[in-house]
Amino acid sequence: MNENRNVKIRVRHLSKVFGNNPKKALELREQGLKRPEIFEKTGLTLGLSDISFDVYEGELLVIMGLSGSGKSTLIRCLNRLIEPTEGEIVIDDEDIPTLNDKALLECRRRHFSMVFQNFALFPHRTVQQNAEFGLEIRGVEKTERSEIALKALKQVGLDGWEDAYPNQLSGGMQQRVGLARALANDSTVLLMDEAFSALDPLIRGDMQQELLELQHRMQKTTVFITHDLDEAINIGDRIILLKDGEIVQIGTPEEILTKPADDYVKRFIEGVDMSKILTAEHAMRPVRATAREDDGPRTTLRKMSENGLDSIYVTSRDRKLQGLVEVDTLEQAAKEGKDTIREIMTQDFRSVPPDEPLHNLFAMFSERSFPIAVVDDQKRLLGVVVKGAVLEELAQAGDN
């Protein structure tokens, strides 16, 4: 998936120890001790331990874990709001832990914007003035920053609310202001720390979808912190799962759910509705036979008989899906002496793209008994899904 994408942030062997004499904690870590044992012996907390990963250009990377797993420490180490104890954090060839104060400030301004859980809006400033704040700090001229802020507010659906104050907005709208402020800064990386956690479930779901739409339009490199697995699955290109300051698993949502690294991850994902995660591509089977429009009824019947089919999809020479015919219709056409199946094929069937969630297919099976056609964006037939294959795929996923 990511082999041909540029690395935006490279993190290698990152560790953070809270407390005096961090070297002692790292020495114990090298002896094989874990966070609880190190704390018991030294009173030092190993917040992060030997963390290594890449963030790709334009990726939405989710870092998740339970409370105390180190996820908020990790995101704050990326821009050195928390000083790492050891390790590399490289963004566009700049090793952030080695920068002096002036260079670090410039690096933050150029590369990082943050959106927090608590919105962090100024109550005495209007929506537009809040969105302009980062630009104002940077000394951007008033007319220019106003133009930039208005554009950012429009991107998050807040045009028309420029003169309102935060206390006049709902929680979701306040979070949009925080997002607009981050976008207005035009940084290369967006850091979002539990950004939607304070919102009620319905608004939270709406904000997740808006973030995905924004990500699709802008391709902004984003690191998103959450403790919510459903949220991580919904928005993440990849997920990093942390436990006690260590990475347990890195992978796509599908990989996390279908190939859990250990028993901890298995317990973590218990209860997830796999039908919403697995797609038609997972349950797709090869097409045993197809017909062409110019085939005659008897030729088509022979193909179906040889392959044990009750219905058959009709495709063009380049495998574009044209229609479907059933055995009863073909037998009647053969009796009537029809030359081709062009006039008797039907469009009354269902087709889906490869990434269609399996849970959407159940209603289609109740409407029609035909196998569901899986097609690409050129309407070429890739395979078919039968009901039994869906149930089999879900059963196998549940056994993992």
- CATH number of the domain that 346 lies in? 3.10.580.10
**The predicted structure's pLDDT at residue 279:** 80
Instruction: Give me the average pLDDT of each 10-residue run along the chain (400 residues).
Output: 76 94 92 92 93 94 90 93 95 93 90 78 88 83 87 84 87 83 84 80 77 82 89 88 93 85 84 70 86 91 89 91 92 89 89 85 73 91 80 59
Domain end call among 224, 241, 272: 272
Q: Are residues 241 and 106 in the same domain?
A: yes
Domain end call among 272, 289, 318: 272
Q: Are residues 261 and 305 in the same domain?
A: no
Q: Are residues 100 and 222 in the same domain?
A: yes
Is 321 part of a structural domain of the chain? yes
Q: Report the number of distinct structural domains present in the chain.
A: 2
**Which H or E run includes 187?**
none
Q: Are residues 197 and 341 in the same domain?
A: no
**Which H or E run includes 158?**
none
**The predicted structure's pLDDT at residue 1:** 47
Residue length of the chain: 400
Domain end call among 246, 272, 298: 272
- CATH number of the domain that 51 lies in? 3.40.50.300
Q: Are 313 and 350 in contact (CB under 8 A)?
A: no
Is 2 part of a structural domain of the chain? no
Q: Are 361 and 352 in contact (CB under 8 A)?
A: yes
Give 170's contacts (C-beta < 8 A, 6+ positions apart).
203
Q: Are residues 263 and 293 in the same domain?
A: no
Query: Which residue segment(s) compose the domain that 40 sits in?
Result: 7-122+188-272
**The predicted structure's pLDDT at residue 359:** 76
Is 95 part of a structural domain of the chain? yes
Is 68 part of a structural domain of the chain? yes
Q: Are residues 249 and 374 in the same domain?
A: no
Q: Are residues 322 and 214 in the same domain?
A: no
Own/partner pairs, 205-212, CB within 8 angstroms, 24+ separation: 206/172, 207/172, 207/175, 207/176, 208/234, 208/235, 210/156, 210/157, 210/176, 211/60, 211/179, 211/235, 212/60
The 10 Å Cβ neighbour count of residue 22 is: 19
Is 97 part of a structural domain of the chain? yes
How would you label 274-306 residue by residue, b for 16+ Cβ within 10 Å and e otherwise?
bbebbbbbbbbeebeebbeeebbbebbbebbee
Is 144 part of a structural domain of the chain? no
Q: Are residues 236 and 374 in the same domain?
A: no
Residues 235, 216: Cα–Cα separation, whole Å: 11
Is 136 part of a structural domain of the chain? no
Q: Are residues 234 and 298 in the same domain?
A: no
Residues 175, 90: Cα–Cα separation, whole Å: 29
Q: Are residues 298 and 379 in the same domain?
A: yes
Is 164 part of a structural domain of the chain? no
Q: Are residues 197 and 346 in the same domain?
A: no
Q: Are residues 61 and 209 in the same domain?
A: yes
**The predicted structure's pLDDT at residue 275:** 64
Q: What is the DSSP-derived secondary structure letter of residue 279?
A: B
Tokens of 370: 């035909």
